[in-house]
Structure 1
């Protein structure tokens, strides 16, 4: 038995079924889909609407069920494998950039929750023979909680707040995938893409576990 199983609840995050963290039924509610946002021109994808089992998983993951990082990571890895079938420029050498967290949020969650998930994504991709890297290249400062903000307010809140940490960035010109848990208005993803573009790091796809309808 895994040590985590002894100290953490092992119930499905989507439906509370016992002895699993993500049951087959809830897993079948996710499927790769293209997402449209007026704020984004980069191809954007999500595995589920921000509703039902997927929404519950995201909320529980943020609420200190850190073991769900593996579930999120494996799901995102399957999506990357699916996208790689079309032969994009990153298919042979995958660089994942996790969306940044505010310092206060990261402190509550024991670190950047998307960095943990992206690390599991890279491990899963490696098990499938793909060369995968995680680059925690982004940081966000000087923002307030975006809950309840309108699209314009979210954009204003993020203006100039997302920057690249050169020491953590992939080599200039490297095509990357930005990964996140939720796409809402797209303001955060757009700010990340702009910051990376200024650093000559092209984002060729944005991949989220969920997206609001």
Structure 2
């Protein structure tokens, strides 16, 4: 939910700049109105079925950057709502019963400790908590499980090709030694944006190594510099 001051005081929409709410109804419609399968094709080996709320452009990109990099944490609610409608859409796809039909874990892709310190918050971790609460309110047996940890450092992904990203991330994630036993046999992966799919594939591989199936992943945005196979 947006902060109380956003509701009481005039403000500008983060997405379009229009006066009024900090995220207007029009931008909210763009963000939540078209959840779809938007994974990279071809994707890396081991990539789960990828669904996103919207293309990573315009108001959607502006909102994600404002939330993640500029401390606009009041946007967490609308971004979590986008993830919720996306997860519900993905759950309707035949073959996803491994998580949608029973108990499943909601697992965020972790940020590095350095990134969390620099941003002042765990952006994806916060969204995963809110997503879990919303899915449970809808009657789905979602369980939070922030189990993934960085096993080693990685180089900045910006500017790297798909192949270079895979090599950069290989072996970089693991289920942390402090993580409790999985609350379910299947997991729904959560991230803010999917680009080449390398990060989601690495995260899924780490979970599978711990005995957890990963049939699907949801993100808020998906870049257009990759080919999509879209299923509404």
Superposed pair shares fold, TM > 0.5: yes
Normalising to structure 2: TM-score of the pair?
Answer: 0.82
Q: CA offset at residue 156 of structure 1?
A: 1.7
The within-5 A match list for 1:166-205 is 166-168=177-179, 171=182, 174-205=185-216
Q: Which residue of 2 aligns with 1:97?
A: 107
- 1:28-65: CA deviation from partner (whole Å, max 9, x where unpaired): 22311112322154211111111111111111011211
Residue 16 (structure 1) aligned with residue 17 (structure 2): yes
Q: Which residue of 2 aligns with 1:69?
A: 76
1-structure distance, mates of 2:117, 2:105: 25
* SS class of match (1:90): helix
Structure 1, gaps ≥5 residues long: none
> Does the C-alpha gap of structure 1 residues 57 and 108 become closer, same or farther in structure 2, counting only changes over 3 Å?
same
Structure 2, gaps ≥5 residues long: 225-232
1-structure distance, mates of 2:106, 2:24: 26
Q: Which moved more, 1:28-37 or 1:187-196?
A: 28-37
Report the number of matched residues: 213
2-structure distance, mates of 1:194, 1:123: 26
Normalising to structure 1: TM-score of the pair?
Answer: 0.88
* SS class of match (1:74): helix
Q: CA offset at residue 98 of structure 1?
A: 0.5
* SS class of match (2:114): helix
* SS class of match (2:27): helix
> Does the C-alpha gap of structure 1 residues 82 and 6 become closer, same or farther in structure 2, counting only changes over 3 Å?
closer
Aligned partner (choices 44, 49, 56) of residue 39 of structure 1: 44
1-structure distance, mates of 2:91, 2:198: 26
Determine which structure has greater relative contact order: mean sequence separation of CA pairs < 8 Å that are 6+ residues apart, divided by chain length.
2
